[in-house]
Structure 1
Amino acid sequence: MYRLNIKKLGFAFGLTGALVYLGCMIVMATAGQEGTIKFFNSLIHGLDTTNIIRMDVPLLEALLGIVQTFIISWLVGACIAAFYNAQINVEN
């Protein structure tokens, strides 16, 4: 069976997570508060995000958020690859 490269899959997940985070930043920057609320309400099946959307996010906090999202996503991807590879060894 094919083994997954843990670092590469982690990096792919990390970049994907950072890209999604960047997409959220772009939505917030271009749609305004009402548009952002409508976007996220429809994205998460009508859950009302009115009280949790904060538009005044400092740049440093946003940059820290994208780095944290990359790290968490990298860890998720690396764990998936490691668990997948471990399962291959169990079957053989």
Structure 2
Amino acid sequence: MYRLNVKKLGFAFGLTGALIYLGCMIVMATAGREATIDFFNSLLHGLDTTSIIRMDVPLWEAGLGIVQTFILGWLIGACIAAFYNAQIKKQ
């Protein structure tokens, strides 16, 4: 059975999470408050995001958020690969 590369899968998950975070940043920067609320309400199956959408996010905070998202994604991907590999019987 094929073994997963822990570091590569972690990187793929981390980069995917960072790209999604960047997409959210772009939506918020270009769409305006009401369109952003409409977008996330529809994305989250009608959950009302009006009270949690904050449009005045400083650039340093957004940068920190994208780094944290990458790190969490890397850890999640690495754990999935490690758990998957641990279940493979050695031949």
Where on the TM-score scale, by shorter chain, does this alignment land: which range?
over 0.9
TM-score, normalisation: structure 2: 0.97
Aligned to 2:87: 87
Identity across matched positions, percent: 84
TM-score, normalisation: structure 1: 0.96
Give 4+ residue runs of structure 1 displaced > 6 Å after superposition: none
Aligned to 1:2: 2
**Quick one: which amino acid aligns to residue 23 of structure 2?**
G
Deviations 1:5-57 (A, max 9, x none): 00000000000000000000000001100000000000000000000000000
> Secondary structure at the residue paired with 2:88?
helix
Structure 1: gaps spanning 5 or more residues: none
Aligned to 1:35: 35
Aligned to 2:74: 74
Q: Partners of 2:35 and 2:76 in 1: how far apart?
A: 31
In the alignment of these two chains, the number of paired residues is 91
Structure 2: gaps spanning 5 or more residues: none
More helix by share: 1
**Quick one: which amino acid aligns to residue 18 of structure 1?**
A
Query: What does 1:22-61 align with in structure 2 at a 5 Å threshold?
Result: 22-61=22-61
